[in-house]
Amino acid sequence: MITNTLEQKRYFSFELLNWYTRNKRDLPWRRHRNPFYIWISEIMLQQTRVDTVIPYFNRFIARFPTIEALAEAPEEDVLKLWEGLGYYSRARNLQTAAKQVVELHGGQVPDDTQAVAALKGVGPYTTGAIMSIAFNRPEPAVDGNVMRVLSRYFLIEEDIMKGSTRSHMESLVRELIPEGRAADFNQALMELGALVCTPKSPHCLTCPVMEHCSGRLAAPQAPPPVPTHAH
């Protein structure tokens, strides 16, 4: 593994945010800073493509504009709106968690990492996404996309299925988040993995952080392999 230099980290954060400002997709959940809507989008996006999620998200927030509305709805109504997205446990967990928020937090998603992490169906990644995107807290949101980007850029060759590797990645993201820019930075990191640093045939020549990418410099003729289980 190549040692991560301070210059390499600063360059990454600065160029990534500049790129995101110019190139970010106009997605419906990005038009709000409503923590509930951001939470819904993150649950829907688990194992589901963005293009598929957009119409479901729009219909869902139209029917359930508040946490109370979701908490009080018949379960069959919730599942009906989820029909076609699959992984129905996500919808059931989301409604259970909405009831938790009504009972414990007055119907408002709490600006508290531990409280969000305690909600049904909200794992470490979703917790980080909600806290950073909705509340601009400097929390890491590390998923497969983010792991792939960081593995390539910093030439991290550890097995990403290991807990120690995830902890390393989360610590690295904490270092990389510029002060006051957590929401944009984490979304930029996800966007780079989704649009540029893709699992197969990454678009290295259009990558905003190509110049200091350790993976590219180590293997300039071909992108570095995706680490174990990075998909």
Buried b or exposed e, range 95-113, using 16+ CB within 10 angstroms: bebbebbbeebeeebbeee
Which of 44, 14, 41, 10 is CA-nearest to residue 27?
41
* Active site residue ranges: 42
Tokens linked to 55: 């119409």
Can you tell me the distance from the alpha carbon of 125 to that of 139, in angstroms, rounded to the nearest whole number? 10
Nearest C-alpha neighbor of 155 from the set 93, 95, 109, 220:
220
* 8 A C-beta contact, residue 214 and residue 151: no
